[in-house]
C-alpha cells in the first residue's frame, strides 16, 4: 500500500513577518513529529494578506524564489526529512511579481515552483495589481512519496486547472489558499460561499480520481484605512478529499489547527477503475475550451 501523510497547518498571520515565519516553522516541526511526509501552509503565509489594498509599498515584501525564505525552509525540511509546499510572493524582476508556490523535498532541497495561473481581482482581493499571471503552465512535482500538483487559491474555481494538473499524473492537488468572508456579507452569503468553495474542490477529486488538499488561513485581517469591522474574515475549514469526493478531514473555522491526513494512494486506481472517466474524454471535441466565449 502506498501512503502519503499530508500535514495541514491552518493559522492566522501577524503583521510581524518574523512571527509568521517562526510560527510556520513551529507548525512544520509539530506536523513532522506527527508523521507528515508533505506539509502545506496557507497562501502567502509570510505576511498579512496585503492585497486588500493597492499599495506599492507592499512590493517590498516580494523576494526571489528560490531565495531567502526557501533557503530557510530547505534547512528545516532537511532536518525534519519532510516535503513542503510554500506559497510566496515572488519578485522576478523589479516591477514583475508572481504569486508563487515553491516545493521542497527534504534532503533533495528546492525542487521547483508553480506560478499562480488564475489571478482574481475583486474588492479586498486586488491581486491583479500585484501579480502577473503565471507563465509556467500547470505543473507536477515528483516527491519521494508520490507525485503532487500545486495550484493556488483562485485556481481552485477552474476545472481546467485541476484537469491539466491531473493529466500530468498528479496524485494529490494542493491548494494553498487565502479566502474569507467580507464580514458584512457573512450572514447573507457565508454558508453558500463556503459551500461552493468546498464543492468545486471536491468535484476536482471526483472528476480526476485524485486527492485534493486545500489549506486556508484563519482569523480576521482588517482592511488598512477601513473601519474596525472592514476586512476579511478568513474562513479556515481547510480540508482533504479522497478520489471519491468524500471529505477525509475538515479543520475548524477559527483558531490555529493542524492535522495529518494519511492518504491511501491505491484508492485512486480503485476509484478510476470503478468510474473510468479518463477513458471517455472527448478530446476530439474539446478544442473550443481554448475559446473565451462561443459567440452565436
User: Which residues here bind its own copies, judged by CB under 8 A?
Assistant: 117-120, 122, 133, 137-138, 154, 157-161, 163-164, 167-169, 189, 192-193, 195-196, 199-200, 202-204, 206-207, 244-246, 274-278, 280-294, 296
Residue 128 falls in the annotated catalytic set: no
Quote the cell numbers at residue 255: 483558531
Residues paired with 147 in a beta bridge:
142
Residue 43 falls in the annotated catalytic set: yes
Would you say 96 or 246 has its CB closer to its own copies?
246
Query: Among the options 74, 90, 127, 153, which is catalytic?
Result: 153
Residue 288 falls in the annotated catalytic set: no
Smallest gap from Cβ 156 to its own copies, in A, equals 10
Smallest gap from Cβ 291 to its own copies, in A, equals 6
Would you say 7 or 243 has its CB closer to its own copies?
243
Give the single-character DSSP code of 273.
H
Please name which of 129, 155, 139, 177 lies closest in space to residue 9, comparing C-alpha atoms.
177
Q: How many CB atoms lie within 10 A of CB 160?
A: 13
Would you say 57 or 280 has its CB closer to its own copies?
280
Smallest gap from Cβ 268 to its own copies, in A, equals 14
Packing angle of the helix pair 159-166, 183-208 (nearest 10 deg): 30
Would you say 74 or 155 has its CB closer to its own copies?
155
Would you say 57 or 288 has its CB closer to its own copies?
288
Cite the beta strand spans of 152-256 per DSSP E. Answer: 172-176, 180-181, 211-215, 218-222, 231-235, 239-241, 247-250
Residues paired with 260 in a beta bridge:
7
Query: Among the options 51, 74, 116, 210, which is catalytic?
Result: 116
Give the integer Cα–Cα distance in Å for 183 and 242.
31
Answer yes or no: are the C-beta atoms of 235 and 180 closer than 8 Å: yes
Smallest gap from Cβ 288 to its own copies, in A, equals 6
Give percent helix, percent strand, percent coil of the chain, each to the nearest 5. Answer: 35, 30, 35
Which residues are identified as catalytic? Answer: 43, 116, 153
Amino acid at each position: 500500500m502506498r501512503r502519503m501523510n499530508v500535514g495541514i497547518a491552518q493559522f492566522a498571520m501577524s503583521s510581524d513577518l518574523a512571527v509568521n515565519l517562526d510560527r510556520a516553522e513551529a507548525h512544520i516541526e509539530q506536523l513532522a513529529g506527527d508523521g507528515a511526509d508533505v506539509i502545506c501552509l496557507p497562501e502567502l503565509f509570510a505576511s498579512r494578506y496585503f492585497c486588500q489594498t493597492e499599495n506599492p509599498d507592499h512590493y517590498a515584501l516580494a523576494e526571489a524564489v528560490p531565495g531567502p525564505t526557501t533557503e530557510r525552509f530547505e534547512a528545516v525540511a532537511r532536518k525534519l526529512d519532510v516535503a513542503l509546499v510554500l506559497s510566496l510572493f515572488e519578485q522576478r524582476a523589479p516591477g514583475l511579481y508572481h504569486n508563487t508556490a515553491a516545493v521542497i523535498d527534504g534532503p533533495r532541497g528546492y525542487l521547483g515552483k508553480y506560478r499562480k495561473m488564475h489571478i482574481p481581482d475583486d474588492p479586498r482581493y486586488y491581486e491583479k495589481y500585484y501579480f502577473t499571471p503565471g507563465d509556467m503552465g500547470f505543473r507536477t512535482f515528483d516527491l519521494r512519496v508520490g507525485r503532487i500538483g500545486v495550484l493556488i487559491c483562485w485556481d481552485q474555481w477552474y476545472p481546467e486547472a485541476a484537469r491539466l494538473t491531473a493529466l500530468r499524473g498528479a496524485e494529490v492537488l494542493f491548494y494553498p489558499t487565502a479566502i474569507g468572508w467580507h464580514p458584512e456579507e457573512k450572514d447573507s452569503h457565508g454558508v453558500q460561499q463556503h459551500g461552493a468553495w468546498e464543492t468545486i474542490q471536491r468535484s476536482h477529486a471526483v472528476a480526476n480520481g485524485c486527492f485534493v488538499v486545500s489549506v486556508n488561513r484563519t482569523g480576521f485581517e482588517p482592511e488598512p484605512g477601513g473601519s474596525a469591522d472592514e476586512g476579511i474574515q478568513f474562513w479556515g475549514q481547510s480540508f482533504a478529499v479522497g478520489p471519491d469526493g468524500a471529505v477525509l478531514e475538515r479543520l475548524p473555522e477559527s483558531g490555529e489547527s493542524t492535522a495529518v491526513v494519511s492518504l491511501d494512494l491505491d484508492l485512486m486506481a480503485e476509484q478510476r477503475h470503478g468510474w473510468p472517466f479518463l477513458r471517455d474524454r472527448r478530446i476530439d471535441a474539446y478544442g473550443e475550451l481554448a475559446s473565451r466565449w462561443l459567440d452565436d
